[in-house]
Amino acid sequence: MSAGRRLALALVVLTGALALVAAISLFVGSAALAPGAVLRALAGRAGAESVESIVTLQIRLPRVAAAALAGGALAVAGVAFQGLTRNPLAEPAVLGVSSGAAFGVVVAQIFGLGLSVLEALGVASFAFAGALLAAAAVYLVAVVPGGLSIQTLLLAGVIVGIFFTSAITVLISIVDFNRLGGVVHWLLGNLAPIPAASLALFAALALLGFWLVLRHARELNLLALGEEAAVQLGVDAERLKRRIFVAAALLTGTVVAFTGPIGFVGLVVPHLLRGVLGQDNRLLVPTALVGGGIFLLAADTLARNLVSPAELSVGVITSFCGAPVFVYLLRTRYRVSL
């Protein structure tokens, strides 16, 4: 089967799965609504002020959209970083990029920016700047003549991540003790319902980042040959690296700006997809957009309902899932030989 047809088939299957998970997510929640009530609300037949209407349309639906977007964006960022660094263990959280973005958001919050559209754009800009800063730092530390050394890259990622996390801690210690709980809670990653206008902004930024990566998916494949060989094939390697970098930082920064740092999505989802579809980024990038959405949506549904009415942070679920996968990867498929 040609690559194009495989991609189409995979997208059909994944989109169907996403719809299914979204439907389940809409029916399940701590407000214990009957399925009929949810359906009525979705069809617009329930009263605008009724519980099922408010819960379904103003709480659950925006949250489902946010989860799907955030998951997709993080998964695509993961694929992008992995292609760029030629290392399947690279992802925004591991590379310290999430921490950089989170730092940006904490700084923005100190300036009092919130959820309205304009303010959300401001927060997103800070997050993007933080993500770019962290990504650039990791890259500069890890690049050696001949490319990026895998060990150095992971180490650099850890170091940059620790640095920004410490910077966040410094900022927190200045912040009022009573707000501490709130900031710590945010740092675990949370999918709260976002107002429609801000959600549209979120979607626009995420899709922009996605498109930037997608149009270079073929060249990203060629990067696996090594930079010099890619140049000899006619790829403008420097420009490609820059663009993928910026795109991945944009995707990560956007997600962190709207939902806080969520880890491991960019690691687990591409890995699972590679197992089925292989290494071709042209297949991985589009399917990651949908697959990431499914993953995070499922995780968030769990997070919302496991200890109802309290809520776990979605980042907790993804870490519980992701950390074992990471360890498994390190010890089996990607064992580094000395």
| Contacting positions for another protein (CB under 8 A) | 2-4, 29-33, 51, 54-55, 58-60, 86, 88, 114-115, 145, 173, 176-179, 181-182, 185-186, 190, 192-193, 195, 217-219, 221-222, 224-226, 228-229, 231-236, 278-280, 282, 304, 308-311, 313
Helices (H) and strands (E) counted in the chain, each on its own, are 15, 2
What residue ranges in 77-233 does DSSP mark as E strands?
143-144, 147-148
Of 157, 12, 146, 28, the residue nearest 82 (C-alpha): 157
CB of 239 to another protein, least distance (A): 10
Dihedral through CA 148, CA 151, CA 156, CA 157, nearest 10?
100
Quote the least distance from Cβ 191 to another protein, whole Å: 12
Q: Classify residue 233 as exposed, middle or buried by CB count within 10 Å of its CB (0-12, 13-18, 19+).
A: exposed
Residue 148 DSSP one-character state: E
> What are the φ and ψ backbone dihedral angles of 147, each rounded to 5 degrees?
130, -155
Query: What is the Cα–Cα distance from 337 to 135, expressed in whole angstroms?
Result: 26
Q: What distance in Å separates the CA atoms of residue 291 and residue 289, rounded to the nearest whole number?
A: 6
* Residue 109 beta carbon to another protein: minimum distance, rounded to whole angstroms: 9
